[in-house]
Structure formats: C-alpha cells, structure tokens
Amino acid sequence: MTGLRWIGLVVLASILAWTGTGLAMAAGGWKNPPRGVFIEVDGRKQRLVCEGEARPDEPTIIFESGAYSAAADWGYLQPEVAKTGRTCSYDRAGMGWSEPSKAPRDPGTMAGELKALLTAAGEKGPYILVGHSMAGLLTRAYISQNPQDVVGLVLIDAADPSAISIPEAQVWIKRYQRLAQVGAGFAQFGLVKPLAPFYANRIGLSGIPLKEKRRMFGAPSHMRASAAEISATIDGAQAAIAADPYLEAIPVATVSAGPISPGRDAWKEAQARAARLSKRGTSVNIDAANHTTILGPVYGQAVLEAIARVKRDAVADMTKSADRP
C-alpha cells in the first residue's frame, strides 16, 4: 500500500468516526443522567430508553440502531411515535452508555441480547421492529429467533442479507471493516472527540438527544464495539436471511434514501427485498434524503408514515386473531 493511499484511509477513517459515534460511560459522569434506565443483563448494565404508554392490544415499537449508533440516534423519531403508543430504543453492549460484552458481536448474538434485555425490563410483546442501516441484519436475526414476538417490520435505508453476496458490497464492507479498526485506534488517543461539536449531528437532533450524541462522541469503548460489530457483518448474514419465511405473514415497509442511479440499482433492489417477501409490503425511496438525514426532522416524515402503516396493519391482524374462536 502506498503512503498516499494509507493516508487516505486514515483520513477517511477519521471522517467515519466523526460522523456518528458514542461513548460507553457511567451515568454518574453527568450532572443529569442520560435518558432511560439501566437494566442488568448477563452481569452487565445496558441502557434502555422507553417512551409512551402501552395500549391494550397494540404492539410496542422497538428501535434498532445501525453501525456506530445508539439510542440517541432515535431522538427525533421515537418521541413522535411515542405519542401514540409504547416505544423503546437502547444502546447495544459497548455502545453509548451500555457496558461491553465479551460475547461475539454478530447479529445472531446481539439479537439474543435484545431478547434478554426486553425480558429483563418487563417490556412485553408483540413488537414491531424498526431498524436502520446495519440493523436490517439485526432485526431479521431477531425475527428468525423469535418469530412469535414480531408482528411488523420497518427498515430504514437498511442492509439486506442478500446484498452481502454482491461483489461490490463485499469490497465496501471489507474496506469499512478496516476503516473501523483504524478509527478505533484514533479514538484511543483522543483524536476524535474534539470534533464532536462539528460532526456529531448529521441527523438533525436537538435537545437532550443531541447533548447525548455529543457527550458520547468518539469514545474508545464505543469505537471498539462498533469495529467488532462491523467485522461480523458478512458472517452474520445467514442468521438474518433465516427470517425470510416469516416475512410473508407480517406487514413490512422499507424506506430507502438517496437517488436511484445505475451504480446503485442492485443495492436499491436488495433494500426493498424484505417488502417483496411480505404479502403486505410497501417500499418508498426518498431521493433528497441521505443515510442519516432520513432519521431527522427534514425527511423523517416518510419513516413515521411507514411505521404508522405497519402498525395499523399489525393491529388489524391482532384483532382478527383475537376474534377467532
């Protein structure tokens, strides 16, 4: 590798680290602790942020973050959805304010940890899973393990397990894995955190979630956990694709971001695949949005509409099931 190319990789790693990282830290480091509660799971504390009141015969909405992300990323969408029901987001092990885990960081393992967290917290199903980016794999790994728990799925500019086989995607993922490791090294020496005021809010957050995002920004623990998750992406695709047979019977919505161009045709097709597997699947692409702004106030309305549509169909299914003798 030439010196110039290596410098380019280092710079790109820094940019990736700057655009959306978090910090696993004790709540006591704040004058006001971060939102949510800390639940003990397998001997470690994990942060869970639930908002909204549970309603009889309605599912709880579970938000699953993408790579480098934690509960703070849902700071705009979650309160909006919580106006009409129960919602929960969380920090995966080692991410945000959650303590790290020694277990592998593949989608199947993390799906099992989410199940344990919800059980320990007493957050009863059924659930609608809402996943962004890499959470396209995590949410489906959860469905494959717990199909009885899930009555709907919403995917936001999400990765599809079938896309892992696309040669271009494998090149990008492996490059991203290398960059994640470099970014973790940068964070170890405190080279990321000073840029938090400038790069920590690509979504368009405000208030406490924005303060959390900036406070979390660039910490070594979070970066190490992120790198470990990304390293397991390719190997974890099988656990996600095992959910395919279960998608036919539940409402599914996919919302993708960015213009559809010749170079992205295969990726866009893969992103909509989950909706095609469902008998009640819908897909929409927001050309003007990007991978992060789709979660914020400017373009998030499309996501809110998708969640509302899936919830409406899921509630109808639950009502029909309850009416059967």
pLDDT in tens, 78-123: 999 999 999 999 999 999 999 999 999 999 999 999 999 999 999 9
SS3 314: helix
Q: At residue 277, does pLDDT exceed 70?
A: yes
What is the CA angle 135-217-99, rounded to 5? 65
Which domain, by its residues, includes 142?
Answer: 3-323
Give the chain's largest Cα–Cα span: 71
23-72 pLDDT per residue, tens: 344 444 445 678 999 999 999 999 999 999 999 999 999 999 998 899 99
Task: Count other C-beta atoms under 10 Å from residue 4's C-beta.
Answer: 7
- Residue 12's pLDDT is 43
What is the CA angle 102-106-107, rounded to 5? 125
DSSP state at residue 128:
E
- Residue 182's pLDDT is 72
Distance separating alpha carbons of residues 50 and 86, to the nearest angstrom = 7
What is the CA angle 208-289-87, rounded to 5? 40
Residue 211 — very low, low, confident or very high, per pLDDT cuts 50/70/90? confident
**Residue 66 near residue 132, CB atoms below 8 Å:** yes
Distance separating alpha carbons of residues 187 and 195, to the nearest angstrom = 11
Residue 304 Ramachandran class (φ > 0 left, ψ -120 to 50 alpha, else beta): alpha
Tokens of 266: 């295969």
**Residue 72 near residue 219, CB atoms below 8 Å:** no
- Residue 228's pLDDT is 85
Average pLDDT value for the chain:
85
Name the nearest CA neighbour of 308 among 84, 103, 17, 16: 84
Q: At residue 199, does pLDDT exceed 90?
A: no
Domain CATH for 228: 3.40.50.1820
- What's the predicted TM-score (pTM) here? 0.87
Residue 187 — very low, low, confident or very high, per pLDDT cuts 50/70/90? low
Helix (H) or strand (E) holding 63, with range, is strand 60-64
Q: Flag the least confident range among 190-199, 203-212, 274-283.
A: 190-199
Q: At residue 232, does pLDDT exceed 90?
A: no
- Residue 143's pLDDT is 98
Measured CA to CA in angstroms, residue 74 lies from 39, 271, 281 at distances of 19, 20, 23
Number of domains in the chain: 1
The residues, ordered by sequence, that sit 6+ positions from 165 with a Cβ below 8 Å of its Cβ are none
CA dihedral of 302, 86, 318, 66, whole degrees rounded to 10: 50
**Residue 256 near residue 268, CB atoms below 8 Å:** yes
- Residue 32's pLDDT is 61
- Residue 61's pLDDT is 99
Distance separating alpha carbons of residues 247 and 139, to the nearest angstrom = 12
As a whole number, mean pLDDT of residues 126-144 equals 97
